[in-house]
A and B are shown apart, each in its own frame.
Chain A
Amino acid sequence: MENLRARLQKIPPLWWQAGLLVLAVLLPLPLNDYYRAVLWRTGIYAILGLSLNIIVGYAGLFQLGHAAFYALGAYTSALLNLHFHIPLVLTWPISILVAAFFGYLISRPILHLRGDYLCIVTIAFGEVVRLALVNNIFGITGGANGLSGIDQTVLFGLTLRTPLHHYYLVLFFLVLTLFAVRRLENSRLGRAWMYVREDETAAEAMGVDTTWAKLLAFVLGSGWAGLAGALYVARIPVVSPDLARFIESVVMFCIVVLGGTGSIPGVFVGTLGMITLPEIFRFLKTWRDAWMGVAMVAMMIARPEGLWPSRRIRMEIREKE
C-alpha cells in the first residue's frame, strides 16, 4: 500500500489533471440524458461550491446566503434576455458583475461583524432577496412564478439543445474556475485570506489589509456564483425565487464543509455527497433527507476535518486532540 502510494505520488501532477479532464469529457458519453443532466447539475454546484469556498474556506467568513447571488445572476441573465433581447452568452459577464456588485454592497458595511453575527446577516440578506423576488419587486421579477420564455443559448452559431452540450459548457467553466481558484490559493491574496482565517489580529499586525482581503473574498465569490446562475438559465429557460431558498444556501455551505473547508478536491467530494448521490438515490423519495441527515452527522463525527481536507486544516483539528 505504502509502496503504491509512493509510486503514485511520483507521477507529475500535470498527468493527473490531464487524466481527470479526459475522464470528465468521456464520462457522459455512455450515459443516458437523465444522468447527463445529473452531471450538469453536479458541475453547476461544483462551481458554486468553489466560489463559496473562497469566502468560507479561504477567508473563513460564515456565508449562509450564497444562493441569493446564484439567483441574482440567474435573474440578471433572464431579465436582460427577456426585455432587451440580448443573447444569453453576452449576459454572462453582466450577471457576474451584478452579483459581484451586490456582494460588495452587502458585505461592505458588515465586514467588521464576527463569526455568527456575520452568518445571520448573510441569512437575512438571502431571505430579503428571495422575498423581494417573490413580491415582484419593481414589477419585473414575475412574483412567485418567476420568469419564463427565455431564449435558447447560441454559442458561435451553435444552438445548445441537449444536456450533453450544456454539460460541456459547464465543464468548460468548471475547468476555468479550477484554474482560477488554484492560482488564487497560491497567490499573495490567497495567503492573506488564510492568514485572516487563522488569526485576524495577527494578520493585521503583519500588515495585511484585512478589510480589503475579506471584501475581495466576498466580491469574487459572489460574482462567480452569479456566473453559475447564468449557466443555470442557459439550460433551464425558467427562473423562480426558489433558486434563492435558504435550503439552497445550506446545501452549498455543506458542500464546502463536508468535503473539507478550503480544499479544492473537498468541494468535489462535497458536491458528490450533497448533489450527485441524492439525485441517484431518488427512489428513497421522502426518506432521502433523513438519510442525508444521518450521513451528515455520521460523517462529521468520523471525520470532523472533512472527507478530503486541505493539509493545513487537518493538522489544525488533529493537533487539538
Chain B
Amino acid sequence: MQQLLQQLINGITIGSFYALVALGYTMVYGVLKLINFAHGDLFMWGAYIGLTGLSALVALMSRGGPILILPVSIIVIVTIALVGVLIERVAYRPLRSAGRLAPVISALGAAFILESLARNIYGASWKTYPTGLVPAGRVALVGGVRISMMQVLVLVVSFLLMALLYLFVYRTRIGTAMRAVSLDHEVSRLMGIDVDGIIATVFLIGPGLGGLAGMIVALYYGSFDFTLGWIFGLKAFISAILGGIGNIPGAMLGGMILGIIETLGAGYVSPQWKDVIAYAILILILIFRPTGLLGERVAEKL
C-alpha cells in the first residue's frame, strides 16, 4: 500500500510534465487541426535556455537557491513563446489552405531545424543543471509516504499553471474567442474575432508553457541531452490524444493517466517494458473510445 502510494506520487509528478507539454499540442490542434511536431523541440529548447540562464545566474550570484529559478523561468517562457510565434508566422500561416499533409511536413521541418540547432550550439553530450537550486529534503506524508521538495515544487507549479490556463480559456473573452476559433474559423471571423491574432496567442501560450516544462523537467532529472524533445514530445502528444485532442482538461487528464500507468508499469511489471505498456494501453483506449477519453464525438459531415 505504501509502495503503491509512493508510486502514485511519482506517477503524478511525471504525469504533470506530460500534461504541461500536452497542453501545447492540444491548444494548437484545437485552433489549426495541426499536429505541431516542433512542440517537443521547443520544450527541449526550454531546457537548454534554462540551463544557460541558471548557470550564468549561479556563477554571477555565486550561490544557489530556489529564488534564482523565478527570473530564469520568465526568460525561458518569453523566449520560447516568441520562437513559437515566429514558427507559426513563417512555417504554418502560409499553409492554412493547403490541406492536411503540407503543414505536417512543414512542422517536421521546423522540428529538424530546432533539434539540429540545439545539437550544434550545445553539443551532443549530456548536460547537467547546477545543483543546490532546490533544497534536497523530503517531506513525510501520511502512511509513511515521502515526497521530495523538488516534487512539491513541480506539483505546485504545474497545478497552478493548469488551473490558470483553465480559467483563462473558460472564463475570459480571449479564451472564449479561442474556443470559437477552434470550432470554425470563418464563423468566428464573421463574429468579429481576430482569428490570426487568436492563433498567434495560442502560439504564445502553448510553447511558453512547453518551454517552462522543459526547464522544470531538466531541473527534476538533473541532466538531459538533445533527444529530450522527441521522447517527451511523443509521450505528451500521446497524452493529448488519450484525453481527446483539442480538449484542454483532456490533455491534463491524459498526461496524469499516462504518467501513472508508466510509473506503475515500471514499478510492478518491468522498467524495460514501461513504454510498451503505455503504448499498448493507448492503443486499447483508442480502439474502444476512438476520440479519446474526453473527446467529443463530432459528426463528420452530413
Chain A residues positioned under 8 Å from B202 (CB to CB):
none
> Chain B nearest CB: distance from A70 CB in Å?
19
**Bound state CA distance, A110 and B286, in angstroms?**
8
Whether A120 touches B238, Cβ cut-off 8 Å, given contacts A110-B286, A254-B108, A290-B120, is yes
The answer, among B94, B98, B112, B230, for a CB contact under 8 Å with A292, is B112
Q: Tell me how many residues of B have a C-beta within 8 Å of chain A.
A: 50
Contact across chains for A294 and B98 when beta carbons are under 8 A apart: no
Q: Is A33 an interface residue (CB 8 A)?
A: no
Q: Is A317 an interface residue (CB 8 A)?
A: yes
Residues from 113 to 146 in A contacting B, C-beta threshold 8 Å: 113-117, 119-121, 123-125, 127-128, 131-132, 135
Contact across chains for A297 and B98 when beta carbons are under 8 A apart: no
Contact across chains for A320 and B106 when beta carbons are under 8 A apart: no
Q: Is B109 an interface residue (CB 8 A)?
A: yes
Nearest residue (CB) in B for A292 is B112
**Bound state CA distance, A121 and B276, in angstroms?**
13
> Chain A nearest CB: distance from B97 CB in Å?
5
Q: Is B103 an interface residue (CB 8 A)?
A: yes
Query: How does the 8 Å CB contact mask read for B271-284 relative to A, with 1 for contact and 0 for none?
Result: 01101100110110
Query: How does the 8 Å CB contact mask read for A223-260 relative to B, with 1 for contact and 0 for none?
Result: 00000000000000000000000110010011001100
**Bound state CA distance, A262 and B228, in angstroms?**
34
**Bound state CA distance, A123 and B230, in angstroms?**
12
Residues from 49 to 106 in B contacting A, C-beta threshold 8 Å: 90-91, 94-95, 97-106
Chain B residues positioned under 8 Å from A201 (CB to CB):
300-301
> Chain B nearest CB: distance from A298 CB in Å?
8
Contact across chains for B105 and A254 when beta carbons are under 8 A apart: yes
Whether A110 touches B287, Cβ cut-off 8 Å, given contacts A120-B282, A246-B234, A257-B102, is yes
Whether A113 touches B91, Cβ cut-off 8 Å, given contacts A257-B101, A287-B116, A317-B99, is no
Nearest residue (CB) in B for A136 is B272
- A residues adjacent to B (C-beta < 8 A): 56, 109-110, 112-117, 119-121, 123-125, 127-128, 131-132, 135, 201, 246-247, 250, 253-254, 257-258, 261, 286-290, 292-297, 299-301, 304-305, 316-317, 320-321
